[in-house]
Amino acid sequence: MTSPPPVLQPHTVTLHGHRVTYRTAGSGPVLLLLHGVTNTSQTWEPVAAELSRTFTLIAPDLLGHGDSATPRGDYSLGAHASGVRDLLSLLGHERATVVGHSLGGGIAMVFSYQFPERTERLVLVSSGGLGREVHLLLRAAALPGADYVLPVITSNRVLGAGRGVGSVLRRLRLAPGGDLALLAEGFGSLDNRGSREAFLHTVRAVIDSRGQRVSAYDRMGLATLMPTQIVWGERDSIIPLDHGKAAHAAMPHSRFEVFPDAGHLPHHADPERFAELLARFCRETAPANITAADLPPLLAGD
């Protein structure tokens, strides 16, 4: 039995001299969908069919990921946020509801902070930037030796011999079953020097040996004006559920939803529920309309 064709259709543009691949579907208000580290825009495929009935979906491959370029350059959250802002502008979209998973959640928060006038709503899915704890394997990637280890465990010879990333992680007990496949697939995708260097630059921009070193909590004031939905998998072993609970407590007007049987990918564990949750959130909340005059009190911490 053949699989149905993908809903998200790929396109390629040149942005600031670099190839950027993005996928689109549907029509209506814009949802900007941002994936996590070592992932791609295709992570949103399970929810694309339902969401595209109501929304225009724009899902880029972030630089250093998927089919986009892997240039030497800035892989910080701010650089990624500026890049997706420029992609929206190139496509003729001024505003969007920004949905970010994992690393994409950190980018989404920075996007809403840097470009609040372009952000209608914020959706954080198992998001980074909300606490220090993060999976040991990602902390290890911040260490200098990772530059030498990654080519070994992601080499075609090792993978072809059946002793690839998944078996290594399993033997080292670095992940329970639920998120093991995600980690193995992500690290297995780093099969060339450019993707490995981009991965290391991206991780080291937000993580050190002690965990996540970038925190959104000193800029949470903006959340009082921004409709925010937080979604987490109860069994997430990569970024703990407690981060979602703490973020919800720090954002008094936010919504919080836990998927009981999900790990780090709640939108894969129950795509129908995720799509309905996101559509309902957009129906029931008015888009933010933040202007420059709204910002000074928030920046001062008043």
Residues in the chain: 302
Q: Are 100 and 80 in contact (CB under 8 A)?
A: no
How far apart CA 85 and CA 94 sit, in angstroms, is 9
Query: What is the DSSP-derived secondary structure letter of residue 287?
Result: P
Closest CA to 271 of 256, 281, 259: 259
Q: E strands, the chain, where?
A: 9-15, 18-25, 30-34, 56-60, 96-101, 119-125, 207-208, 211-212, 228-233, 255-259
Instruction: Give just the sign of the alpha carbon dihedral 131, 136, 139, 141.
Output: negative
Q: Which of 52, 102, 126, 195 is catalytic?
A: 102
Q: Is 236 a catalytic residue?
A: yes
How far apart CA 268 and CA 109 sit, in angstroms, is 22
The residue whose two tokens read 């260490």 is 143
Q: E strands, 139-195, where?
A: none
Closest CA to 246 of 129, 160, 96: 129
Q: Which of 236, 237, 254, 267 is catalytic?
A: 236
Q: Is 16 a catalytic residue?
A: no
Q: Is 11 a catalytic residue?
A: no
How far apart CA 60 and CA 37 sit, in angstroms, is 13
- H-type alpha helices, 115-153: 136-140, 146-153
Q: Give the pair of three-digit tokens for residue 17.
A: 């001299």
Residue 25 has φ and ψ, to the nearest 5°, of -165, 155
First CA to last CA across the chain, in angstroms? 60
Q: Are 154 and 191 in contact (CB under 8 A)?
A: yes
Q: Which of 264, 267, 268, 270 is catalytic?
A: 264
Q: Could you give the residue numbers annotated as active site? A: 102, 236, 264
